[in-house]
Structure 1
Amino acid sequence: MPKQRNSARRHLELKRRIWWFKIGVPVAMRSHFDGRTHHRENLQTSDMRVAMERRDQVERDTRSLFRDIAAGKVISAATLSAREHGTVWRETLTDLRVADDDARNEFGWSPLDIAVSVAEEATERLRGKDRKEFEDAFTGKVPVDEHLEAYLKAIALADKTTNERRGLVKRFARWCDKEALKLPEINRRAVGRYVTAIIEPMDRRTAKKHMTALRGYWDYLTLRGHVEGKVMDGKAVDSPWLGQTLPDNKRRVERGDRNSGERAFDEKELQALLYGDYPEEVGAEFRQQIEDALRISCLSGMRLAEVVTLWVEEVHDEVFDIQQGKTRSAARKVPIHPDLKGIVERRTKDKKPKEWLFHELAGERDPGDTFGKRFNRYRKALKVDDVRDGKRRSAVNFHSARRWFITQARHAGHAKETIKDIVGHVPGEKDITFGTYTKGASEEQNRACVEAVKLPKRA
């Protein structure tokens, strides 16, 4: 098959220095598109590189829509509710406002003029509840989270991050609902009230995540024309979230505050997790994976996701050969502790190179999150918990095993730089000597450091 010419510009159309997405509509589906032969969508950018990125996402969404129509999952425009009709008309007019306005008919009417007139006629035909629903959707007087799922689909983040952002935006939406605020009524003053009442009392890290989610959602709303706002070079520049300050974490430290953050397991907690009676309510089928993963993390300093997603081929020559991870330093070789050899032999036996060490998690959509929830149930059932006032998360969790390894390696007298190499921490920007001019600890240093860590004995 000959290569498509100018494939970089596929489905792209430039109109008055704004890029549009354009794709042909199959004949059998044109009734769903008001008889149009082509479907267009404003990409709202003059930057071709940005347009190509947005084009790829819109193309995926459109082809998914085509498949749904073919499968009978999409209803025709004639059966849309009054609210859905209002939303369609609002989005249509938003597109036409930035479209080529030079094409006018013999009476001097532009496509936008005609569309406004038809929308007004549609409003006049409705009565009662239907008319109010149409007008609310048409004017954008909808709940704050009206476009949340479309936003989450557009940004295509990892499942865990997607769920986190959904929860944060919905929290703001619930507050707006209590305050009787609709989407067009969210201005800088309303946002400031929310920041003062809800975000400022939060821990700084939690507050930062909250602000990031809401700023991102508002940028999407602005770019898609759901809220008013200026757009320059494909970016929203006057969001009500811009300039909102985060709480200052440089507070006075009071008695008891110094150790209020997340921490390593202490010896008694780790003994309970390693040797305590297995709690029946967790499920016996999870026992082996919990015991194995906990020991691996305690004796390697590996992160949860690194442990549970290892391939068999990444366990070789007495090292865990981690190929990917959270940071640029995550790819590394961690010596296998002598006390882990039995687990490794059992979990690699008769497996193919691309199979998972923790094969029982391979079918999970988000194996790290799934295992983390199981471990938390296990931990709590064994009374290993540390929830402080004003904190949502326990100060101990699976990551405490990694912290425990680092603590034990440090207490054994090993160099900070060696420990960083093993656990995959990024060298400090100011640490020129060890961050720039060395290639890291030697294999012997790494192995000596790992083997110096010992699990606590039974109580």
Structure 2
Amino acid sequence: MPRKPDKDKAYLTVHDGVWRVSMGVPRELRDQLGTRLVRSTGTKALGEAKLARDLIVPQFKKRIEDAWSARGGKRNSLLALTLETRRLMETADENLADFMIQGAEERYEEILNEGATWVNEHTPDGIIPRRIPKPEAAKLVSEIRRVAAGDTPIAHYHQAFVDGLKIKPRSKLDEPRALSILLDWMESQDIEPFIENINKRNAIRFLDWLDADTNLSWASKAKYFGRIKFYWSWLARREYAKENPFHDLNIDKPETKREDDEREYTDEEVQKLLMGEPMEGRRMLDVMMVAALTGARLDAVIDLKVGNLSDGYFTFKAQKKERGSRDIPVHPDLDEIVARRIANKAPEDDLFPEWPGPPSTSVKPRSSYFSKRYTKYTSDIGVRDEEKGRRRSKINFHSWRRWFITKMERARVREPLIAAIVGHARKGLTLRVYSGGPEFLEAQDAIALVKLPPLDGSPVVEERSLTPRRRKP
């Protein structure tokens, strides 16, 4: 028999030893809120976690209820029926329209009467009973009246907007996050969630709040604000909104010093990473080696098939804005790894079967689990460069790609050849459009110039960079 759920731990899960509250989101609302609402309780003690849960669960339920309201209510709910009634009234004759209006007014009265209290009010004409409806009933009727009069819930068209986007499924996850940020702000400002309430003044207020009063990084602020701006542009083009009040607004990028940017690994860090002993052993070290000696991105490495290796080169799938797959010569230091991983395998087999992808229903990339394990490994051995206020370390898996490019440049490899090897757009119309690409043997010779630091523990002598790094205190 299936095990019965523990009601005492309802909504509670453990992540890295800390209890967190997790609540599933109805399928219809996932374009607004994501698959689940999750918040850490910040404690490892079950008793404290249950106290925190009792405060968080009502907040999650309210977010879900507000999300229903923002898209026009649940199917067959009052808001949804009001939207349908409004649509029917556009073509109804006068008698039918009057009948529908009368029915709506009777329903409003039923809502206001339910749970209301009555008080006697003294007036010049005598004592008159006055109804005091429940606040939530008054708010609901106010919203319904506005919808009936022509106002539209902000999220009503959002799913159609998302469905029409020509972007990767994982990128579409930013759309509900952005919409949720806007709706949460409107709730905090007591602004009803209607398209018509987003005028220029409120658009500027939202921009100022997002820029100054949230803990998001500049990149996240700009991304989410850009998604809201694009949604409103879509609404305006289809005349669902009168205008796009966000169209000329932007979140300015703060000035940063070169030393504050993400960077490549040093040779000492490369030595420490490759000589370390991750829990996953060769499963992780092999991925690191391939990334280090090809300059390929993590997704491209993890997704390799045995059939992507042929005649001494890798065929990497297109990434980001690359137009197609690209062939990269195999570095001599990868020969042993390649031979071991293709032995007795079929072309359709994964080169790294130890890192399987998420369920087919997930939009996460196959590399997501590896990325989490890699972050833990670098933290365990102290290969991190973190600063307060930064979302992530200045060195991360992408630093392998930076290290590879740096080594190629210092080996005096031509810039157009480096760009062709790592899949960057080459400069100028001549090379970008008309050239068939550099010779394969030239790329093979260039890649062989990239040398790993000694992996026997010998001292590492760092090459001096023309761009000096800030010394750590």
**2:300–2:317: 8 Å Cα contact kept in structure 1?**
no
Alignment of 1:23-422 (within 5 A): 84=74, 85-93=77-85, 95-96=87-88, 101=91, 104=93, 108-109=94-95, 114-126=99-111, 127-128=114-115, 131-132=137-138, 134-135=140-141, 138=144, 139=146, 155=165, 158-184=168-194, 185-199=197-211, 205-218=219-232, 222=235, 231-232=236-237, 238-247=243-252, 251=255, 257-278=257-278, 284=279, 286-364=280-358, 365=362, 366-422=365-421
Q: Cα 1:90–1:350, aligned 2, differ >3 Å: closer, same or farther?
A: farther
Count of aligned pairs between the two proteins: 353
Q: Cα 1:248–1:399, aligned 2, differ >3 Å: closer, same or farther?
A: closer
Q: Cα 1:363–1:235, aligned 2, differ >3 Å: closer, same or farther?
A: same
Deviation digits for residues 276-311 of structure 1, max 9, x if unmatched?
Answer: 243xxxxx3x44332111111110011111111112
Taking structure 1 as the reference length, the TM-score comes to 0.67
Letter paired with 1:214: I
3-state SS of 1:299 partner = helix
Q: Cα 1:90–1:319, aligned 2, differ >3 Å: closer, same or farther?
A: farther
Deviation digits for residues 214-257 of structure 1, max 9, x if unmatched?
Answer: 2244456x4xxxxxxxx4457856122221133156x5x7xxx2
3-state SS of 2:295 partner = coil
Identity of aligned residues (%): 26
Deviation digits for residues 88-135 of structure 1, max 9, x if unmatched?
Answer: 1233145346x5x2x63xxx335x655444333322222245744642
CA displacement at 1:444 relative to structure 2 = 0.9
C-alpha distance in 2 between matches for 1:443 and 1:200:
51
Taking structure 2 as the reference length, the TM-score comes to 0.65
C-alpha distance in 2 between matches for 1:236 and 1:147:
11
Letter paired with 2:448: E
C-alpha distance in 2 between matches for 1:409 and 1:235:
53
Q: Which residue of 1 aligns with 2:61?
A: none
Q: Cα 1:210–1:310, aligned 2, differ >3 Å: closer, same or farther?
A: same
| Structure 2 runs not aligned, ≥5 long | 1-27, 32-67, 116-133, 458-473
Q: Which residue of 2 aligns with 1:39?
A: none
Q: Which residue of 1 aligns with 2:62?
A: none
3-state SS of 1:444 partner = helix
C-alpha distance in 2 between matches for 1:261 and 1:90:
52
Q: Cα 1:326–1:157, aligned 2, differ >3 Å: closer, same or farther?
A: closer
Q: Cα 1:186–1:287, aligned 2, differ >3 Å: closer, same or farther?
A: farther
Q: Which residue of 1 aligns with 2:454?
A: 457
Q: Cα 1:109–1:432, aligned 2, differ >3 Å: closer, same or farther?
A: same
Q: Which residue of 2 aligns with 1:54?
A: none
C-alpha distance in 2 between matches for 1:170 and 1:178:
12
Letter paired with 1:346: R
Q: Cα 1:116–1:239, aligned 2, differ >3 Å: closer, same or farther?
A: farther
CA displacement at 1:409 relative to structure 2 = 0.6
Q: Cα 1:195–1:440, aligned 2, differ >3 Å: closer, same or farther?
A: same
Q: Cα 1:398–1:246, aligned 2, differ >3 Å: closer, same or farther?
A: same
Deviation digits for residues 163-197 of structure 1, max 9, x if unmatched?
Answer: 44443433344333333333134432222123224
C-alpha distance in 2 between matches for 1:276 and 1:315:
27
Deviation larger for 162-171 or 412-421: 162-171
C-alpha distance in 2 between matches for 1:380 and 1:146:
44
CA displacement at 1:340 relative to structure 2 = 1.2
**2:222–2:250: 8 Å Cα contact kept in structure 1?**
no
C-alpha distance in 2 between matches for 1:417 and 1:353:
32
CA displacement at 1:273 relative to structure 2 = 1.4
**1:347–1:357: 8 Å Cα contact kept in structure 2?**
yes
CA displacement at 1:321 relative to structure 2 = 1.3
Letter paired with 1:245: N
Q: Which residue of 2 aligns with 1:442?
A: 439
Q: What is the root-mean-square deviation of aligned Cα atoms in Å?
A: 3.5
CA displacement at 1:149 relative to structure 2 = 7.3
**1:86–1:136: 8 Å Cα contact kept in structure 2?**
no
CA displacement at 1:348 relative to structure 2 = 2.2
Deviation larger for 84-93 or 194-203: 194-203
CA displacement at 1:213 relative to structure 2 = 1.9
Q: Cα 1:432–1:91, aligned 2, differ >3 Å: closer, same or farther?
A: same
3-state SS of 1:352 partner = coil
3-state SS of 1:321 partner = strand
C-alpha distance in 2 between matches for 1:165 and 1:376:
26
